[in-house]
Amino acid sequence: DSGVTQTPKHLITATGQRVTLRCSPRSGDLSVYWYQQSLDQGLQFLIQYYNGEERAKGNILERFSAQQFPDLHSELNLSSLELGDSALYFCASSAGQGEETQYFGPGTRLLVL
Amino acid sequence: DQQVKQNSPSLSVQEGRISILNCDYTNSMFDYFLWYKKYPAEGPTFLISISSIKDKNEDGRFTVFLNKSAKHLSLHIVPSQPGDSAVYFCAVQSYNTDKLIFGTGTRLQVFP
């Protein structure tokens, strides 16, 4: 158990809908990262928050957004969903910034029908 | 453009033998290198890491080697055990960014 929790574990929805994925980092960790794993793309970095502030952006679509709350949990919002958004979404956390090991949650499997 | 490559999608090794997983990267600016293991329906689990100032790091049965001139990273597992059967991802990180760039993974199967 990495100490990172993600809910829900599975999500099935329809195209055009909006969903919210939730992540609670390990106790004491200030950084939260979101990654997407799809069949053909591997694990891709989406976005990072550090202590409530956006720190880095990767290959995140404009239809996707995230935030980190004062209690350090994070939410990833996916809107106007398309079939191609079906993937595993992982959250990771680390103590701070830089060369800190990232610990991953169990992921949320999203299926868009 | 794939910056991190794991050219072997799968590897099969007998229990007790050595497993060697390889990873190549393109950018010499990467300075932190990691290996993660992933079981089905679980998130990646951190295994071992190495900084660019070192060429070897050992942790029990796991050893990571870094060859900076060749831009090559390898993970040795000795002795291999059936419980090591999983997908192994290498990942790299630059000093000025926290994001991890992952390879495509190698599926290791350790058979009795």
Mean predicted confidence (pLDDT) in A20-30: 96
Residues 6+ positions from A10 with CB-CB distance below 8 Å? A108, A109, A111
Amino acid B1: pLDDT? 64
Give yes or no for residue A48 having a pLDDT over 70.
yes
Q: Which of A98, A52, A47, A50 is nearest to A77 (CA)?
A: A47
CA B21 to centroid of chain Cα atoms: 6
- For the record, the structure tokens of A78 come out as 């996916």
Amino acid A59: pLDDT? 83
Residue of B31, B44, B98 with shortest CB distance to A104: B44
In this predicted model, what pLDDT tens digit does every residue of A96-111 receive, in sequence order? 766 678 999 999 999 9
Residue of A2, A56, A98 with shortest CB distance to B45: A2
- For the record, the structure tokens of B42 come out as 């679980």
Amino acid A4: pLDDT? 97
Instruction: Report the length, in residues, of chain B.
Output: 112
- For the record, the structure tokens of A108 come out as 């949320």
Interchain pair B99, A94: CB under 8 A: no
Residue A31: pLDDT band with limits 50, 70, 90: very high
Residue A17: pLDDT band with limits 50, 70, 90: very high
Amino acid B41: pLDDT? 83
The single-letter code of the amino acid at A101 is T
Of the two residues A47 and A96, the one the predictor is more confident about is A47
Q: Which of B18, B44, B42 is nearest to B102 (CA)?
A: B44
Interchain pair B43, A99: CB under 8 A: no
Check if B101 contacts A (Cβ < 8 Å).
yes
Mean predicted confidence (pLDDT) in A13-39: 95
Amino acid B99: pLDDT? 86
In this predicted model, what pLDDT tens digit does every residue of A51-82 receive, in sequence order? 999 999 998 999 999 999 999 999 999 999 99
- For the record, the structure tokens of A96 come out as 């701070």
Mean predicted confidence (pLDDT) in A36-53: 89
In this predicted model, what pLDDT tens digit does every residue of B74-95 receive, in sequence order? 999 999 999 999 999 999 988 7
| Residue segments in chain B with a per-residue pLDDT below the cut of 50 | none
Check if A106 contacts B (Cβ < 8 Å).
yes
Chain B residues lying within 8 Å of A90, measured CB to CB: 43-44
Interchain pair B89, A101: CB under 8 A: no
Interchain pair A106, B42: CB under 8 A: yes
Distance (Å) from the alpha carbon of A12 to chain B's nearest alpha carbon: 16
